[in-house]
Structure formats: C-alpha cells, structure tokens
A and B are shown apart, each in its own frame.
Chain A
Amino acid sequence: MDKAMRPSRAARLVGATGPAPAGRFTPVSLTDESTETWDVLKARLAGDYSVDDFGFDPQFTDRVLMQLVRPLYRHWFRVQVSGIESIPSDSGALVVANHSGTIAFDSVMTQVAVLDEHPAHRNLRMLGANLVFQTPFLGDLARRAGHTLACHEDAERLLNAGEVVGVWPEGFKGIGKPFAERYRLQRFGRGGFVSAAIRTKAPIIPTAIVGAEEIYPMIADASLIARVLGLPYFPITPTFPALGPLGLVPLPSKWFIHFDEPIPTDHLPEGAADDPAVLFEVTDQVRERIQRTLYDLLAKRGGVFG
C-alpha cells in the first residue's frame, strides 16, 4: 500500500504530467480524457493493473465505481459534509458511523465523501459482514472498492498501514431497523473496533450520517421471506415490493455527514485494549457523540427533502 499507488485525484484527472489544476473540476479536453480512458481500458484488458493484498483496485474504484455513484452523491442526495479535517492526511484513523437505510448507501456515500472532500483524497477502507463477502458480485465489488471482512486481524493490519478504516458497529441491526426507530442508535457490538483502534493507537472519528434513514422507509420486515432467502431481513417499504423494481429507487432525502472531533487512543495505557471496562467506556463515548450529533444535524436539516 505505498503512497505511489494513490496519486491525488487531481493528478489522476489530468494525467501524471499535466499541471496541477486549481480546483478539482478543472475541465480537461475531451480528446485527452478519451485517449486516457482508452489506454486505461487497454491496459486493464491485458491484466495490466494492480490490486493490493486486500484486493483493492484503486483505478477501478475511482474511474468506474465512484463515477457511477457520484451523481447520486451530488445531485440526488445533495450530501453536505462537515468536519472532514478530523480525518488525518497521512496516518491511520477509524471512522465509526451510524448505519441505516435498508440498503447500505450510507457507507458508499461516506466513501465518496472521504475520497472527494478530503484534501488528501483518502480511500475509506470499510469493514463488512462476511455475508457481503460470500455473496457473488457484491463480495467481489466490495474487495475491489477496498473493503474487507470485519475481523480484528484486518482492522489492525489496515490501521497499522496508515489507512482510514470505516466501521458501522450497528451492522444489520442498524440498516434493517424499522422506520419508526429512525436516528435511534442500536447496540454497538462488543467494542471490537475500539480494541483495534487502541492496539494501533489510531484516533476514533465518531461520524453522524443524516438522510440515509429516509431513502427506503422500512415499514415492515417480512421475516419469513428473509429466512427463506437467508437474509438478515426483507424490507417492505411504501414502494417496495409494491412497485417492483421502481421501488428500488431511493427517495431523494437531503443528507448531512459530519465527521466529529477525533477521540485519541494513544494516551491509553498498555493493555487497555484487553480491558473490557475501558472498551465499554470508549464505545459508549463514541456512541453518545454520534447520537448527539445526529440530533443536532436533524435540527439543522429542517425538511426531510431539504
């Protein structure tokens, strides 16, 4: 995971030799762009690209995946980001956020936010459930986008390598909760993410996401269907499955993502990572901060659709 593999986004947009543009949206002439795209495509068809040991493919992520979701980020959800400076530019950090929305768009939007809004254009490396990695296409896509299994080995390895790691400790309890419980944080696991941060002395960045709760308001959970399909839940929303595939279009709620002040872990004594009392205390602190920020952002947002 050397730095050379992650040129700044601006540099990638204009090619390695181009002058550094003032803003990120400096127009690039069409011919340059298409020649470059063609070259990239040719190289990829020959297998000439690289993935890291986790399967992260930075070129594919930036050129293809992120390009597909950027319109959603900018024009559909109109994501407004604050506190991005809480994320360090060149060292490890653990982003911990609330999870919601039936389908995990919140994690994808957070990835766009960290890549596009952070001055160092950092890649958010998320930790996901093993269900993700055993699902065809989805697991593959997740690895290509830089994500890996939520286990302490991978969390510590990424943090030690100085990566920004993202976790959603509520897991399926968070994304699969009924609409009536929106913006109420669920249980925060067993504090595994805290021990990984303490062990690697990485700061924890409590992150609050407002807007994702309303994209697919889940009014009921068809748990029988879910059990048959082996899914953690099967959502019934006002539009799904009633409107069929059309019901998969997320509602255009207005989003806010706030990265709160980092909680340092490097001052904690040796052995704190194995002390359940410390883990619970830090976990609670993170959870409370996110909950409080959620209420603040909600008050600020006003209408659901902005």
Chain B
Amino acid sequence: MGVVAAVTGVSRYLGGKTAAWLVDQPGIDRVIGLDVIPPPAPLACEFVRVDIRDQGIAELLERSSVETVVHMGVIATPRQAGGRSMMKDINVIGTMQLLAACQRVESVRHLVVKSTAAVYGSGPKDPAMITEETVPRHPPTSGWAKDSVEVEQYVRSFARRRPDVRVCTFRFANIVGPGMRTGMTAYLTMPVVPTVVGFDPRMQFVHEDDAVEVSRRAVLQRTAGTFNVAGEGTVVLSQVLRMLGRPALPLPAGMLGTVGRSLSRGSWADFSRDQIRYLTSGRVLDTSAVEAELGFRGSHSSRQAVEAFAQAVRGG
C-alpha cells in the first residue's frame, strides 16, 4: 500500500507544481492539496480548502491517514499574503499550527519543508561558500528571511519531539523559471534595476523544475536532513542584468531601499534590509550534501536557470 501525501500552499505556483508531480508516483496513493485560497487553475490532485492556522487541520490529517506532509506554504512576498503582519501570521503561526497537528497525528512519518538560503543572511564576514553547518555571521533581522529562521526553529523542535518522523528541510537559492514570481524576479524585471554602487554580489539560482524535482525525490526517498539547493556554478548580479537586458542604476546602499521602493511601487520587488545586504555581499551555497544524499544535481546551472527566466521574460 502506498502513501498519502498532503501538500500545503498548493494554490501558489511551486506548491501546485510539487503536488502535481507527486500524483501517480510509485508508492504514492493519494495527494491532497491544501490552501486557504482556491487554486487559480484546476489541480492535478484533490484540493481541500483549509487554513493551516486552523484546528481543523489535525482532524483532516488524521481522517486521511496522511503519512507525508510537504510544507510549501511559507510566503515570501507580503503582497501575496495581504500585508506584512498577515504574512508573518501565515508563515510562523501557520507553521506552528501545522506542526502541532503533525505532532498529534500518529500516521505522520515524514515532513518535507521548503525553506530558503536567506536564513544564512549575508555579509562581508561570510565564507565564500556556505555549507549547512556554517554559523551565520550576519543573521537576518526582518521579513521573510527572519520568518524562515523561526519556521526552521519550530521544525527542529518538532523533530526533537517526534523523533520517529523523518524531517527534511531544503534551503533554496533564488528560485526562477517561466512560471515563478517572487520578490527576486520582480526585482530583476524592473525597467531600471537599482543596485548597490561598488558591489557586484555573487548569486545562485535554481530552476523551478529543479526545486520541484528535489522535493519530489525527497518524498519518494523519504529523505531526512537539511540541504542547500542551488543550480551549479555562480553568477554575479551585473551578469544577470546583462542577460536580462536590464540597465542597472547603481546607488549608495543607504538610498537603495527608498529609491527602489518608489521605483517598484505596485510590484513584489523586495528591498528589505536583508535583501539589500544580499544585494551587497551576495551568497553562494555549497551543495555537495544534497548531491551526496539525494543524488541530486539540478538540470539547470545557475546561469541556465537565469537564461530560462530571461527567455520567459522576453517571450512576454
């Protein structure tokens, strides 16, 4: 008999795609998609409209004997959630409630969590490449990155309380692709892109299909552990902007937030303090662990992921 998997955040792009890729996989009987809002397009799997901040979630997991929970429901853009406090509520309180439910429900045996490399922060004292064990020298102070740090803390304490559950956390570099819309993609597609003068940060990108694929593999292989995920190789911001055909507007770091926010009004572009630090010092992940443990090497390098994104942007 196969496994019943529940995927949170299916009404957003990556969650929906991950759920779809799990349908009809060997060893998976049933995929249940969860979200507070209805999916924009029909899903390939069942959909249950539920708020993970609700008590009802435990009952739902219990009733369907869910064994694998894939938590893709952490939101990166305040606009998507309807404001920053709402976003924090969904991210942190939502995760707490979901984990509380998982703790109560006996059938849950495997938890896969989408996190972000932003939990490492960014700054001049960081080593050139960051492994899963690297202690952050410049931990994030606000926004989505801080939410993700808190989410990971709850996940870790959940893992302590339920040692029988295999817990897998992915820290993704910037996810890009034809369908993905994030604070970073909004930033990169501004008509004129404000950058920090005198700095050309090193960056990595993951193609959306690779992000989905690694999650799919983790579910099928019942992987446990924390892993960095990024496309092979490194690009610098100026290179990315040239590939996208976007002019850069170099500004002092102190002005970037104000100017950036007024230039990008109405878009998701992220100019939080942590993002500005990232746009100054950059960040590169060591991805040898995910390769060793999951045998995973993305189909797209960082550069190819940006190329795929650039192509989608040009195509309209």
Which A residues form the contact surface with B (CB < 8 A)?
45-47, 49-55, 130, 133-140, 143-144, 148-149, 151, 153-154, 157
Query: Are B129 and A153 in contact, CB atoms less than 8 angstroms apart?
Result: yes
Query: Are B128 and A149 in contact, CB atoms less than 8 angstroms apart?
Result: yes
Which residues B191-250 have CB closer than 8 A to chain A? 196-200, 202, 233-236, 238-243
Say how far B131's CB is from chain A's closest CB, in angstroms. 8
Query: Are A53 and B128 in contact, CB atoms less than 8 angstroms apart?
Result: yes
Choose among B134, B234, B242, B243 the residue that contacts A153 (Cβ–Cβ < 8 A).
B134
Query: Are B129 and A53 in contact, CB atoms less than 8 angstroms apart?
Result: yes
CA distance in complex: A151, B134 (Å): 12
Which B residues are in CB contact (< 8 Å) with A138? 198
Query: Are B127 and A154 in contact, CB atoms less than 8 angstroms apart?
Result: yes
Query: Are B197 and A149 in contact, CB atoms less than 8 angstroms apart?
Result: no
Say whether, besides A45-B242, A46-B242, A149-B124, A53 and B202 are in contact (CB < 8 Å): yes
CA distance in complex: A137, B240 (Å): 18
Query: Are A140 and B129 in contact, CB atoms less than 8 angstroms apart?
Result: no
CA distance in complex: A157, B303 (Å): 22
Could you tell me how many residues of chain B have their Cβ less than 8 Å away from some Cβ of chain A?
29
Closest-by-CB residue of B relative to A54 is B128
Query: Are A52 and B234 in contact, CB atoms less than 8 angstroms apart?
Result: yes
B284: CB under 8 A from chain A? yes
CA distance in complex: A138, B235 (Å): 19
Which B residues are in CB contact (< 8 Å) with A130? 124-125
Say how far B223's CB is from chain A's closest CB, in angstroms. 25
Query: Are A53 and B284 in contact, CB atoms less than 8 angstroms apart?
Result: yes
Q: Could you list 7 A-B pairs, sorted by A, with CB under 8 Å?
A: A53-B202, A54-B128, A55-B200, A55-B282, A133-B124, A135-B198, A154-B128
Say whether, besides A47-B240, A50-B233, A139 and B199 are in contact (CB < 8 Å): yes
CA distance in complex: A157, B282 (Å): 18
B51: CB under 8 A from chain A? no
CA distance in complex: A75, B91 (Å): 62
Query: Are B202 and A47 in contact, CB atoms less than 8 angstroms apart?
Result: no
Say how far A167's CB is from chain B's closest CB, in angstroms. 15
Query: Are B124 and A47 in contact, CB atoms less than 8 angstroms apart?
Result: no
Query: Are B124 and A51 in contact, CB atoms less than 8 angstroms apart?
Result: no
Query: Are B242 and A55 in contact, CB atoms less than 8 angstroms apart?
Result: no
17 further contact pairs, Cβ within 8 A, besides A47-B240, A53-B233:
A47-B238, A47-B241, A49-B239, A51-B235, A53-B128, A53-B129, A54-B128, A55-B202, A55-B282, A130-B125, A133-B124, A136-B199, A137-B198, A138-B198, A140-B198, A143-B200, A149-B124
Query: Are B127 and A47 in contact, CB atoms less than 8 angstroms apart?
Result: no
Which B residues are in CB contact (< 8 Å) with A51? 202, 234-236, 239
Which A residues are in CB contact (< 8 Å) with B68? none
Query: Are A149 and B243 in contact, CB atoms less than 8 angstroms apart?
Result: no
Which B residues are in CB contact (< 8 Å) with A133? 124, 281
Which A residues are in CB contact (< 8 Å) with B196? 136
The residue in A49, A51, A53 that gathers the most chain B C-beta atoms within 10 A of its C-beta is A53
B132: CB under 8 A from chain A? no
The residue in A45, A134, A144 that gathers the most chain B C-beta atoms within 10 A of its C-beta is A134
Which B residues are in CB contact (< 8 Å) with A140? 198-200
Say how far B106's CB is from chain A's closest CB, in angstroms. 42
Query: Are B198 and A157 in contact, CB atoms less than 8 angstroms apart?
Result: no
Closest-by-CB residue of B relative to A140 is B200
Mark contacts of B301-316 with chain A using CB atoms, 8 A cut-off: 1 yes-contact digit, 0 otherwise: 0010000000000000
